[in-house]
C-alpha cells in the first residue's frame, strides 16, 4: 500500500470515529442521562464551588493523555500503573467521587449504557454552566479505555512552569492552535493552585504586579506551605468569566504558564481581546472544548462501557 493510501485510510478512520459521536447518542438508550449528570454536577458544585474547576480539569487531564477515554479514572492494577499518581495529577486532580456518584445513578437508570468518558466530558460542560459560563452541545458516544498510562500522563500534560513556546508546541501536538491554547487556558478563571506551583513566580519573577506578589506571599511562604491554595483568578475565583485575562493584562497571572500568555509574545493580542470581550471568549472556549472532547475517542466496538469507572469490567 502506498504512503498516500495509508494516509487516506487513517483519515477515513479518524473521520469515522468522529462521525460516530452524536449529541443524540443516548436519546433512545438512556434519555435521562444528561439530566442525571447535570443534576449531580449542580449539587456537587453547590456543595463545594471549587468542584466545578476540578471537574473541568479532570476532563482536560483525561483528553490530553491518549484521548478522551476515561483512562484518568482507572485505579492502579497489577497490569498497569494508572494516571492518578502522575506528577501533574498527584494530590491535585479531584472529583473522582462525583463521577462515581453519577455513574451509580446512571447504572441504576440504564445499566451498561453511558460511558465514564462521556460522563467526564458532560460534567466539564455542566460545571462551566453551573459557575456562570455559557453552554455548548457535547457530541456523545465515547467508550472507555481498558488501560491507562502513567508515562503518557507525565509527558503529555503541560506544566505550570512552561514557557510560551513549550505551551504552543504542547497544544499543537494535540491539534490546537495558539488561539485555542489561550481560550482553553481561560479555564483558569475558576479554581485554585497550590503554593508549590506558584512559589517561584511570586518570589523570583519580575513580570508580576508587586502588590499581587506580596499578597500571595502572605499565604505561600518561601519555605513550607506547599499545599496552601490561592485562586487562579484574583477577583472572581468561582465564577466563569473573563477576569482571568484581565489579571494577565495587569501582570497578576498566578502561574508562570499563565503570565506567559501575556508577556510581550505572540498571544498578547488574543489575551487583550478576551479581557475586553467576554462573549468572544465564551464562544471560542466552547468551540475549543468541543474540539478537545473529540480528541481520539474510542467508539463503536473499541474499548468498553465500564460499570465501575475506577476499574475495567471483569477485573
Q: Which residues contact 128 (CB under 8 A, 6 or more apart)?
A: 52, 56, 134, 135, 240, 289
> Residue 61 catalytic?
yes
190 contacts 176 by C-beta, under 8 angstroms: no
91: three-class secondary structure by DSSP: coil
Backbone φ and ψ of 229, nearest 5°: -105, 150
Cβ(188)–Cβ(244) below 8 Å: yes
In terms of DSSP H, where are the helices of the chain?
Answer: 3-19, 33-47, 50-63, 96-109, 116-130, 150-156, 164-172, 178-185, 195-204, 210-217, 243-249, 256-259, 268-276, 278-293
Show which residues are catalytic.
Answer: 61
Amino acid at each position: 500500500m502506498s504512503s498516500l493510501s495509508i494516509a487516506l485510510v487513517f483519515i477515513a478512520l479518524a473521520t469515522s470515529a468522529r462521525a460516530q459521536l452524536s449529541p443524540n447518542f443516548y436519546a433512545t438508550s438512556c434519555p435521562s442521562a444528561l439530566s442525571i449528570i447535570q443534576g449531580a454536577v449542580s449539587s456537587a458544585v453547590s456543595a463545594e464551588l471549587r468542584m466545578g474547576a476540578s471537574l473541568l480539569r479532570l476532563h482536560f487531564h483525561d483528553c490530553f493523555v491518549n484521548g478522551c477515554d476515561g483512562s484518568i479514572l482507572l485505579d492502579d492494577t497489577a497490569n498497569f500503573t494508572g494516571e492518578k499518581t502522575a506528577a501533574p495529577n498527584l494530590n491535585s486532580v479531584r472529583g473522582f467521587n462525583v463521577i462515581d456518584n453519577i455513574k451509580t445513578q446512571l447504572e441504576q437508570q440504564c445499566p451498561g449504557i453511558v460511558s465514564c468518558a462521556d460522563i467526564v466530558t458532560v460534567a466539564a460542560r455542566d460545571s462551566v454552566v453551573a459557575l456562570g459560563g455559557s453552554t455548548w452541545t457535547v457530541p456523545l458516544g465515547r467508550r472507555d479505555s481498558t488501560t491507562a498510562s502513567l508515562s503518557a500522563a507525565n509527558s503529555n500534560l503541560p506544566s505550570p512552569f512552561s514557557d510560551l513556546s513549550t505551551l504552543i508546541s504542547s497544544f499543537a501536538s494535540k491539534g490546537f492552535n495558539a488561539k485555542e491554547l489561550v481560550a482553553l487556558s481561560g479555564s483558569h478563571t475558576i479554581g485554585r493552585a497550590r503554593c508549590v506551583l506558584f512559589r517561584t513566580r511570586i518570589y523570583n519573577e519580575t513580570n508580576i504586579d508587586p502588590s499581587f506578589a506580596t499578597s500571595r506571599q502572605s499565604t505561600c511562604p518561601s519555605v513550607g506551605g506547599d499545599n496552601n491554595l490561592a485562586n487562579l483568578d484574583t477577583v472572581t475565583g468561582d465564577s466563569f468569566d473573563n477576569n482571568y485575562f484581565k489579571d494577565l493584562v495587569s501582570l497578576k497571572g498566578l502561574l508562570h504558564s499563565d503570565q506567559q500568555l501575556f508577556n510581550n509574545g505572540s498571544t498578547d493580542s488574543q489575551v487583550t481581546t478576551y479581557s475586553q470581550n467576554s462573549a468572544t471568549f465564551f464562544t471560542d472556549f466552547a468551540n475549543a472544548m468541543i474540539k478537545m472532547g473529540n480528541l481520539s475517542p474510542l467508539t463503536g466496538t473499541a474499548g468498553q462501557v465500564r460499570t465501575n469507572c475506577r476499574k475495567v469490567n471483569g477485573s
